[in-house]
Amino acid sequence: MTRCPLTYERIAENKRYSEAGLKRLSPKLKSLDPLAFSAEQLLLEAIKAANKMSIQGIQPKLSAVLSIKNHRFAIVDHAGRYILKPPHPVYPEVPENEDITMRLASYAGIETPLHGLIYGIDDKLTYFIKRFDRVNQATKVDVEDFSQLSAHSRRTKYQSSMEQVAHVIDQYTTFPILEKTKLLQRTLFNFNVYQNGNHYLNNLF
């Protein structure tokens, strides 16, 4: 027996995904073909797309859409609804690590976007996550992070503190106490998962 990378439930050896996993992606999806790239090819595509991505970060990533008609994720230059993160050439099992971390976050009661693992043509797993700043392929949701709200530049954004984050919540939210409760929940989760107080601050900024 093997496990579905979308739901972690046990499935037959001749299957890649469970029915429940496919339905999570779309009720219309009956099967999912592998990505049309190997892990090495995905990294090359990510390097080429680096300057086109609106999302920052050092981890290689690609923009993608889910084509129900073609039963697979397709890489696109713009209007993507998903982010793909292929295996890292230096650090093993980064996609698996990110997926299980998000799964643990959801178990802890933290709201998380649709995410999971999908196979490439070389049977290696790539992490995907649905963009929360897109309503559809044509409509973007304006999003500001704590760096922007606290008027930090890219150079100074990590010179902040959790106290400053709390101040921003007081200043910009309708229900500060509720949002601070969420902040505490996420901070405790981050501490237990990463044992690194700075990592969560980096995610906020």
Cα(141)–Cα(149) distance, rounded to whole angstroms? 16
- Residue 48's CB is within 10 A of a number of other CB atoms, namely 11
What does the block give as tokens for 36?
A: 């049309």
Using pLDDT thresholds of 50, 70 and 90, give the confidence band for residue 185: very high
pLDDT of residue 144: 77
Total-model pTM: 0.87
- The reply to whether 77 falls in a domain is yes
- Residue type for 174, please? T
Q: Both 126 and 155 in a single domain?
A: no
Lowest mean pLDDT, pick from 89-103, 163-177, 191-205: 191-205
Q: Both 125 and 155 in a single domain?
A: no
Contact 136, 82 (CB under 8 A): no
Q: Which domain holds residue 187?
A: 146-204
Boundary (domain end) residue, out of 74, 104, 130: 130
pLDDT of residue 59: 82
Find residue 116's DSSP bridge partners. 128
Residue-wise pLDDT tens digits, 50-96: 777 666 667 889 999 999 999 999 999 888 999 999 998 889 999 99
Q: How many structural domains does the chain have?
A: 2
Residue-wise pLDDT tens digits, 102-138: 999 999 999 999 999 999 999 999 999 999 877 766 6
Q: Both 122 and 150 in a single domain?
A: no
- Residue 42's CB is within 10 A of a number of other CB atoms, namely 25
SS3 85: strand
Residue-wise pLDDT tens digits, 13-30: 999 999 999 999 999 999
pLDDT of residue 63: 94
pLDDT of residue 23: 97
Mean pLDDT, range 169-175, rounded to an integer: 94
pLDDT of residue 1: 66
Q: Both 70 and 152 in a single domain?
A: no
